[in-house]
């Protein structure tokens, strides 16, 4: 499949998840809804972050290098989105500190090195 079809699918999915995340913010009260609202919030925000980061990183990679690296942008977008959701979960559990963020970054870097070695 051409890269443009992946980009269109990613853009449509990201747009739909932005709408879903907005609806979760509007219709669910986080103090009364419990775990269901939290899970819906985190999933919709996570998919929105992954899609948004992927589109931004793809545009950045294309502009800077001229190469169309969709899968690299998707991998980096997924790592950034998961890191963001991980930090939000740690904050929700009241255990977020600077060393937790450092651990999240180190885990992300180790995963990137693993994928880089595995691909090559």
With bands split at pLDDT 50, 70 and 90, how would you rate the model's confidence at 115? confident
Average pLDDT over residues 11-33: 89
Average pLDDT over residues 47-57: 95
Residue 120 reports pLDDT greater than 80: no
Q: Are 39 and 78 in contact (CB under 8 A)?
A: no
Above pLDDT 90, what percent of the chain? Answer: 45
Average pLDDT over residues 109-116: 87
Question: Residue 45 contacts by C-beta under 8 Å, 6 or more apart in sequence?
Answer: 21, 85, 88
3-state SS class at 117? helix
pTM, whole model, 2 decimals? 0.86
Taking the C-alpha atoms of residue 103 and residue 85, their distance in angstroms, rounded to an integer, is: 14
């Amino acid at each position: 499949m051409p890269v443009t079809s992946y980009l269109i699918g990613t853009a449509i999915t990201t747009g739909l998840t932005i709408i879903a995340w907005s609806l979760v913010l509007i219709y669910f009260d986080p103090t009364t809804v419990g775990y269901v609202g939290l899970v819906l919030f985190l999933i919709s925000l996570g998919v929105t972050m992954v899609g948004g980061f992927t589109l931004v990183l793809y545009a950045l990679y294309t502009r800077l290098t001229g190469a169309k690296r969709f899968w690299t942008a998707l991998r980096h977008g997924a790592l950034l989105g998961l890191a963001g959701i991980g930090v939000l979960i740690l904050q929700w559990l009241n255990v977020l500190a600077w060393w937790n963020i450092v651990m999240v970054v180190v885990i992300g870097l180790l995963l990137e090195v693993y994928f880089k070695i595995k691909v090559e």
